[in-house]
A and B are shown apart, each in its own frame.
Chain A
Amino acid sequence: MFLKDSRQALQYMLHNVVYATRFSPCGKYIAAANKFGDVALFSLTAALSPDTCDESKCPIFSFNVCQHGGIYSLTSTETFLICAGEGDIQAYKWSDIIAKNPVMSTALGLAKKGVFSHPEINSCVIRTDNSSSTLFAGAGDNLVHSWDIESGAYLDSLSGHTNYIHTVALKNEGRGLISASEDGSAVIWDLRMKEAAHVVKPFEHDMCARPHMGQWLQCLALDEDNYWMLLGGGPTLAAWHLKTLTPTVTFDTPGVAQNVAMFYEDKIFSAGTSNIINHWSVTGEHKMAVPVSPSSIYSIDINTHSKANKVLTVAGSSDKIDVCTNFGYRAFSLSFMPPS
């Protein structure tokens, strides 16, 4: 993105959409990625310090990762920040980014199949077991691809969806994987057999189908015990019992599709195509609706790496990334600025 003048920078900020945020392993920083392929690094310590000023709400550093399109997913290992979206999956060392000198360590790319078939990566998860680390990526070509992170070698793909994959999540300490897709189905994969174990289609289920909204599934989350699974999108957000694969509780948001959801302690947070974060109890009771800056929310995240900086961040279609210290209201906003 070439920014000639301040007017264009303002336009950039007005039309900015942050798709993903990720806390650094040390918990002091937060990285955010937007639709222009830029990644900005904010210092939480500075923003949360008592003598904070407006400047500490701005990125301490930002850089371009992908010139051609957005970054849709940020994943973190102990040392790397993995950016995925349009183009290749790129890994940067956290320490390099913090030192304001990002050097791309690894790039994982998919083979091009045609002029307009270069798929995007919408979601990534990393499975770490004793011997190796594997990256699973839900892609625009309806497949879940996997790479070996250490060697960068392409491993395999899981096929079965009929439309692109929105979200992937690991299950049972990496023995299984769940993917939610635009086609409206969520597939539970058996990674050992490399085949679909179960397919769930909420749009067919009376409890949560919303035909006027659509059938896609974007929202996918599992609780710690892998007992419940949250699925939402076009259909109403619902908690599915993993053993029986039936929806038990719905969290109704009329006219609003839920893009993200997460379990936190005994609560469920969800947000979507409105400027509201919903707090639910596991029984489906709507506890709270917290208004935030973005008009559409694509990322909510809680910093679990650092107790001092334990905050909830909310990002979406705005240049503002809202930070909630107490999860019930917006404390302040970080401002995503274009790289200079």
Chain B
Amino acid sequence: MSKEDAADGKKKRLLKAEVVSNVLGISEPKKHKPDASLVKAQEIRNIASEEEEAMERDPQLDLNLFQASCNFLKSAIRDVKNLKANKTDATSEINSIRTDATIHFIHMKKLNRLAHFRCRKVRENTNEAKHKIDQCHLQLQNLLYEAMHLEKEITKCMEFKSKDEEIELVPVEEFYLNAPENISNPGTTSGDAHLQMLARLEWELEQRKQLSTKLTETKKSKEQISKEIQAKQDYLETLQPKLTAILQATRPVQDYLSMPYDAIKEEQQTAQHLPVPLYVLYMQTSAYKDACDKCLKVSITGDVDASKSLSTWTFEPDDESDSDQEDQEKQDTKRRRKTSEARSQEKKNRVLKKHPLSVILEICTEAFFLKVRCQHILTLSPTDGTELQLTFCYLIALNIITVNVKFTLSEKVVANSVTGGDLISSDSILDELYPGDHGNDSPNLANHFELKKHGLQDLSTYIPLIGRPYLWCQWMGGLQFLKKDMNNIEETVAGDESAGIAKLSAVRARHSISAANMQKTILLLGERIDARISLLQQLSSLERSIIPVSADSVKMFPAKINAQLSVWRRSTFEDLQSLPQAEKFIKAGLVSSSDMIFLAIIDRGSAKMTAYVVLTADCPQVAPIIIVDIMWQFQRTALNDVYVMEMEEEVNLHFHELIIGKSRKQLLPNQLQRLLMCFDVYLETDTPASSLVPVEIPKEKVIPRTSRGPARSKPYKYVPELGIFTHRCYN
């Protein structure tokens, strides 16, 4: 601050003071204390002027002045002290000094005040400056922030991705090729990438617009079509009840014409609920019926609903706390302590549980007869009404099929056989349909252990309950189990390669197995019924002591046979076992305890022949065996008389000659007839006991040579063309 400015400032301040005093002076009359207010104004003016003064004065100079005053004061004090000490009366001097000192003191006070003012002023300035700096700093901060924000915005902008980058555009070449000139504008766009892009986008847009219109159009047409479909559907749905009504109406006609299409359909639906093996059985049997044998009847019985609910059923015999059992227990606490018998009964029921559905196969023999007639042109008595009904059940837990047999004999069949009553019993009629298959044991070997595990007896004890698990039932159901006795069954399915393979794999129902055995089994069943009926008729005739030799066979035998059948009755295996001559047959396994044994007594004069006739279950497929014992003069059997052995050979070994065509039906009567004939020859060629005794048996037969060869064989062979008897060596 220059001196002039300072001077100006001083003047202004003075002016201000005057103005202030003037203002105050105006108000003086009102106050009535003019002196005091004046002093006060003077003081204020002083203060203001002192402020200005402080500004104007040089602080350094003031410091010097202050130091000078201090020094003066120091010297004054010192002088006063000195004076006081030296002179007792130096008051004037002291007063003068005191006056000076007072002046200096006041001067010092003023300086001090000025210093304070100055200090305040500096502080104010400093604050002001500080404030200014703060403001600037704030501004700077704002600016920096703004700059940063802008930078961010810039980068954001830089990083911005346009939608057009995501749009898949047609390649440039294609674009120029396809787009119209007004859009592509090759002149301008080919050089500028941006314009090119724009143009391409525009083209894209154009194309998309087109496509979108197309889409809407297609959607519209689709909607229309679906509407049409719906309409047609509705129409069709209205047809259903009408059709059902029509079908319902046709039922009587179908029944009348015996074409049960609907029934078949329903049954096939039911078949869906059959267990797999029974389904295989049902399907294969039906197929076989359709293809080969129209006269079979296949049907399904049982509770369909139960089988539906059973589909989720699993076998858990170990689970003692079964839900229904629990329920029962809750209902009746007394039953909680069930007896062990009831428990085992329950367990038994569970293990032997049958599937609720079963397949019924009915074989009508009339059909079989007819078929045979067609094939062999044989005239056989029709036996309508004779029917074999097989009910196949599936044991879920044991995985086997059992069969219940019901055989109804036609009324037309006259067969009141006492001895062969059990021939057509349901228990034995299908015994050994295949060799060795008695249906006593379970074919599934696993069952043995299963039953044992649950403390049950062998399966054979439950046969009345469940039916017989014949092997062929399993085959029909496509189940093939491991074989117990290789040699025995191998023969039966010889040529069936699939069986051999199946043997090794797990037991699952397979159509191939069922199909492979179906025809044979059905044929065997038919043959069996046929055989049993004819056997029954033969037995009933034999009981009346008539050997029922058929017209076809009668020419195989001489017209006159003197030996007569007198007794035909049932015998037992035990009886046969006691005969020494039967021992070798039993030992060889040709006769077993399951066979049916009959006893025939044949007489001629005093000679009596007892013939044990052994019929196996599969008679006449397995030829009957006849074991003979002759009582004439002494007892003769195959053991002591070689001719008896030869006689047995004639009927047992050479039975093939007695089969006419392919039908073995007449085998048993023919065998017996031949036995009678041989007995005649035996008696007539026997050496007379003594020439003295008159010959009891006259020689009626024409016999060129009575003996031949080292064994002196008898001429048992009859030559029907010549009516003579000869030896078995030209057959």
Report chain A residues within 8 Å CB of B641: 273
Q: What are the residues of chain B within 8 A of A22 when measuring CB–CB?
A: none
Tell whether B1 is near chain A: CB-to-CB under 8 Å. no
Smallest Cβ-Cβ distance to B487: which chain A residue: A6
B719 to A, closest residue via Cβ: A116
Partner of A296, one of B585, B589, B711: B711
B652 to chain A: closest residue by CB: A11
Q: Mark B356-387, 1 if CB is under 8 A from A, else 0.
A: 00000000000000000000000000000000
A254–chain B nearest beta-carbon distance, Å: 12
State which of A67-75, A185-193, A277-285 sits at the interface with chain B. A67-75
Contact flag A116-B653 (CB < 8 Å), given A85-B709, A182-B707, A295-B642: no
Residues on B with C-beta less than 8 A from A7 are: 590, 622
**Contact A68 B729, CB 8 Å, known A7-B590, A14-B588, A85-B709:** yes
Q: Chain B contacts of A307 at CB under 8 A?
A: none
**Number of residues of chain B lying within 8 A (CB) of chain A:** 37
In the complex, what residues of A have CB within 8 A of residue B585's CB? Answer: 14
Q: Which of B301-356 contact A (CB under 8 A)?
A: none
Which residues from chain A contact B432 at a C-beta distance below 8 Å?
none
Checking A120, A218, A317 against B642 with a beta-carbon cut-off of 8 angstroms, the contacting residue is A317
| In contact, B691 and A274 (Cβ under 8 angstroms) | no
Q: Give B contacts to A, CB under 8 Å.
A: 491, 584-585, 588-590, 622, 638-642, 645, 648-649, 652-653, 687-691, 704-705, 707-712, 724, 726-731
- List, in ascending order, chain B residues with CB within 8 A of A182's CB: 707, 712
- Output the least CB separation between A221 and chain B (Å): 15
Closest to A273 in B: B642
A-B contact pairs, 10 of them (CB 8 A): A7-B622, A10-B590, A14-B590, A19-B710, A68-B730, A116-B705, A116-B724, A164-B708, A182-B712, A259-B710
User: What residues of chain A have their CB less than 8 Å away from a CB belonging to chain B?
Assistant: 5-8, 10-15, 17, 19, 35, 68-70, 72, 85-86, 116, 118, 120, 122, 140, 164, 166, 182, 211-214, 216, 218, 234, 259, 273-275, 295-296, 298, 317
Chain A residues lying within 8 Å of B731, measured Cβ to Cβ, are 68
Given contacts A11-B590, A120-B729, contact A212 B653 (CB under 8 A): no
Please tell me if the beta carbons of B645 and A295 are within 8 angstroms of each other in the complex.
yes
B726: chain A residues within 8 A (beta carbon) = 116
Complex Cα spacing A17 to B712, Å:
12
Which B residue sits closest to A164, measured CB to CB?
B708
Interface-central residue, A11, A85, A212, by most chain B CB under 10 Å: A11
Q: Given contacts A7-B590, A69-B729, are A296 and B642 in contact (CB under 8 A)?
A: yes
Contact of A70 among B589, B707, B729 (CB under 8 A): B729
Q: Which residues of B contact A218 (CB under 8 A)?
A: 710, 712
Distance, CA A118 to CA B726, complexed state (A): 12
Complex interface: chain B residues within 8 A of A68 (CB): 729-731
Q: Are A10 and B642 CB-contacts (below 8 A) given A68-B731, A164-B708? A: no
Give CA–CA (A164, B642) in the complex, Å: 19
- Assess whether A10 is in contact with B588, with CB atoms less than 8 Å apart: yes
Query: Chain B residues near A12 (CB, 8 Å)?
Result: 653
B687 touching A213, Cβ below 8 Å:
yes
| A5 & B645 in contact (Cβ 8 Å cutoff) | no
Using Cβ atoms and an 8 Å threshold, which residues of chain A touch B649? 15
Q: Which of A14, A69, A86, A212 contacts B689 (CB 8 A)?
A: A212
Given contacts A8-B653, A19-B710, A216-B707, 5 further A-B contacts (CB under 8 A): A14-B585, A68-B731, A70-B709, A72-B710, A85-B709
